[in-house]
Homo-oligomer: A and B are copies of this chain.
Amino acid sequence: MTTADPTHDALVSLGRSRRLVTRTSTADRVADAVREEVVEGRLRPGARLPEHELCTALGVSRNTVREALSQLVTERVLMREPNRGVFVAEPDRDAVRDVYRVRRLVEPAAVLHGEAFDDAAVAAVRAAVSEGVAAAGADDWTAVATANQHFHRALVAMADSPRLDQQMALLLAEMRLVFHRMPGVREFHEPYLSRNDAICRLLEAADRAAAAVEVERYLRDAEQQLLVAYDAL
């Protein structure tokens, strides 16, 4: 497979990462900008995004805007209603149930069977836990939510799968929209700080089975709490 020529190998390696050097397209940057506004909550669920406004605001052409919007629609960050426009997605009850159904399948499985369970992976989980504790201490509950996402991303990262990582990123972005739809973000995330820590300790003790069970219970409770909040909404 590999040749005996180190120079040749180095060039091949360079070739593989070529895509990373090329600057991103304009449409990608527009998509990134809009996505950030959405996940940060500055664009509320249900808000309308007229193409022309985005053109003038971002200084790009309408076609480019449309390309970016289409991308975000496939990511479920936005929703398109034909001939009416695109809106920030409003995940409903079914969306919450579905997202948690996926998470309950994937996250415990990654914890239990992930092939990249090592010190570095556990350290990443610990880092996310500490990040959450620090954010809570600073009363920054947006940062707590972000840290929570990092926690779950670290769990899935144990599967060592780029495709799974990407999918989890989409699901977590959708979860942020769920949180933005309802008040009381603080009350929601706080009780999970200690549970994150408990799961992390199980992982540090290399008790993956117990950790997986705890993750599943965690997700079941969180879903239940969200569904109740949706009913009261």
A interface, CB within 8 angstroms of B: 1, 18-19, 22, 25, 27, 63, 66-67, 70-71, 74, 81-83, 93, 98-99, 101-102, 104-106, 109-110, 113, 115, 159-164, 167, 171, 230-231
- Chain B residues within an 8 Å CB radius of A66: 67
Q: How far is the CB of A1 from chain B (nearest CB, A)?
A: 5
User: Within the assembled complex, what's the spacing in Å between the Cα atoms of A231 and B66?
Assistant: 42
Cβ–Cβ contact A105 & B110, under 8 A:
yes
- Chain B residues within an 8 Å CB radius of A102: 159, 161, 163-164
- Chain B residues within an 8 Å CB radius of A160: 101
Q: How many copies does the complex hold?
A: 2
Q: How far is the CB of A155 from chain B (nearest CB, A)?
A: 12
Assess A19 versus B67: contact at CB under 8 Å? Given A101-B164, A167-B167.
Answer: no
Q: Which residue of B lies closest to A162 (CB)?
A: B98
Q: Which residue of B lies closest to A82 (CB)?
A: B22
Report which of B18, B115, B162, B231 forms a contact with A1, defined as CB distance below 8 A: B231
Cβ–Cβ contact A19 & B82, under 8 A:
yes
Cβ–Cβ contact B19 & A105, under 8 A:
no
User: Within the assembled complex, what's the spacing in Å between the Cα atoms of A98 and B230?
Assistant: 36
Q: How far is the CB of A66 from chain B (nearest CB, A)?
A: 7
User: Within the assembled complex, what's the spacing in Å between the Cα atoms of A230 and B1?
Assistant: 8
Cβ–Cβ contact B81 & A159, under 8 A:
no
User: Within the assembled complex, what's the spacing in Å between the Cα atoms of A22 and B102?
Assistant: 28
User: Within the assembled complex, what's the spacing in Å between the Cα atoms of A65 and B80?
Assistant: 19
Cβ–Cβ contact A109 & B101, under 8 A:
no
Q: How far is the CB of A15 from chain B (nearest CB, A)?
A: 11
Q: Which residue of B lies closest to A79 (CB)?
A: B19
Q: Which residue of B lies closest to A227 (CB)?
A: B1
| Contacts beyond the supplied A101-B163, A105-B159: 13 A-B pairs with Cβ under 8 Å | A1-B230, A19-B81, A67-B70, A98-B163, A99-B163, A101-B115, A101-B164, A102-B161, A105-B106, A105-B110, A105-B161, A105-B164, A109-B109
